Structure 1
């Protein structure tokens, strides 16, 4: 059986979800070759069709759906897990501000643009995620948009949350926050089979969380085990196993609002695959 090229981030939620698949523990699944890359990298690499299975931002889907199909599992979507806009002073708005963001096709940046509306900052800079919090703390940028486990650690940098974009999204729409999607390359991967493999990998992770602990710790950017466990508990949830109707409503709401604002190309409404 030929191997599959798979790309996901080194973050604890991804390594937790994919541990069994990556280690050949899913019956019937092919061997996989894993590339670790932050989502801002995979958003661009996926446009070239570089991977068979890939984790990307939901905000990047309008540029990828010709090449890839959205899978109904394995990604990150939920409540109370949205991006934060951090500052190191007492500012209440972004007038004249320079804002650091982790990628121009990330869901975090799309939510930020939708939230800001006509009051966009003076300047936006795309920078590596790990530089954002120390850079804002040092005054390099006036504000920074953060994701992942930063929501648990930003106080350690003396920073303050100006807005929780997840809370804003949930209060505005009543829907969960669609963050990261798993895509299967059209013509090379059977999406139904890939869905079954990933769901079994998730099932094993939940059944025996300790099995993947070493794998999670080896790749985590934040090495505190307690933070990694918080990260997994927040981002790996019922939507990871199955997006369901509510998950698809959230995705379609995000993409339709983005297209209406002129931030992304429009795409047809996404629906769950037929059983």
Structure 2
């Protein structure tokens, strides 16, 4: 199983026709369309910043923070929340260890590490809560799936999105079987922990992000563009109802 930041980098090189990437990373991609299905959105929860000591939120940007990748959505959200900071890239599941040993002052926690992290840490910032307040209740855009429009025609992309949605629906209808299958990719975590993680980030927007999910992605990337954090030309989404690709700037 590849780390999400590795997938982000492979997508930038256009090595993959279809792949999961961070919503943040989409700003750096060319000729990929965002699929309606398979996205990961937090509903009033998301990545968290932890430390082994209590750090004032207003001074968090002054500290060295372990991050799971520069192109992760978590990193962009933290940048939007606190401004520029010294981010040290660390494999996501090693970040608590780096914080505990004092190699970094704080750590940005994502994925199942959010659930498994111990009570010995202070929670400095909940980016899910921050984003919820900042946007008046929008879901937190984290992971998306994209498809190459270099490799597939528009109609093929729309057809794939339809089949992809149905596969997710089938997995949710047979959740126990799906969890059992996913255990081979669980990085040694227990089935109970993986089930808890899945139920945190697999929701109605995973089946179909609809306009609500699209708006949250657009809002995050536009805000980052306004703040001169990143730049992009256009955002491409599938409009299944009208059988076409939607463009946003």
Report the TM-score, using the length of structure 2 for normalisation.
0.89
Do 2:158 and 2:238's aligned partners in 1 also have CA atoms closer than 8 Å?
A: no
1:142 to 1:109, Cα distance in 2 relative to 1, 3 A: same
1:88 is matched with which residue?
52
**1:269 CA drift (Å):** 5.4
The C-alpha deviation readout for 1:145-202, integer Å capped at 9, x for no partner, is 010112212225x212100011100111021100001000113232112211211111
Do 1:47 and 1:67's aligned partners in 2 also have CA atoms closer than 8 Å?
A: no
**1:81 CA drift (Å):** 3.5
**1:95 CA drift (Å):** 5.6
- Structure 1 distance, partners of 2:63, 2:205, is 35
Task: Say whether residues 1:162 and 2:124 are aligned partners.
Answer: yes
- Structure 2 distance, partners of 1:176, 1:40, is 22
Listed as ranges, the gaps of 5+ residues in structure 2 are: 244-249
Task: Say whether residues 1:77 and 2:44 are aligned partners.
Answer: no
Secondary structure at the counterpart of residue 232 of structure 2: coil
The C-alpha deviation readout for 1:63-93, integer Å capped at 9, x for no partner, is 11x2211111111113133110110012213
1:137 is matched with which residue?
100
- Structure 2 distance, partners of 1:197, 1:272, is 14
**1:263 CA drift (Å):** 1.2
- Counterparts of 1:3-18 in structure 2, within 5 Å, are none
**1:239 CA drift (Å):** 0.6
Do 2:32 and 2:236's aligned partners in 1 also have CA atoms closer than 8 Å?
A: no
Do 2:179 and 2:191's aligned partners in 1 also have CA atoms closer than 8 Å?
A: no
2:113 is matched with which residue?
150
The C-alpha deviation readout for 1:1-39, integer Å capped at 9, x for no partner, is xxxxxxxxxxxxxxxxxxxxxxxxxxxxxxxxxxx3111
1:124 is matched with which residue?
87
* Runs of 4+ with >6 A deviation: none
2:246 is matched with which residue?
none
Do 1:108 and 1:145's aligned partners in 2 also have CA atoms closer than 8 Å?
A: yes
Listed as ranges, the gaps of 5+ residues in structure 1 are: 1-35
Do 1:154 and 1:160's aligned partners in 2 also have CA atoms closer than 8 Å?
A: no
Aligned length: 235
Do 1:57 and 1:180's aligned partners in 2 also have CA atoms closer than 8 Å?
A: yes
- Structure 1 distance, partners of 2:188, 2:198, is 12
- Structure 2 distance, partners of 1:95, 1:40, is 22
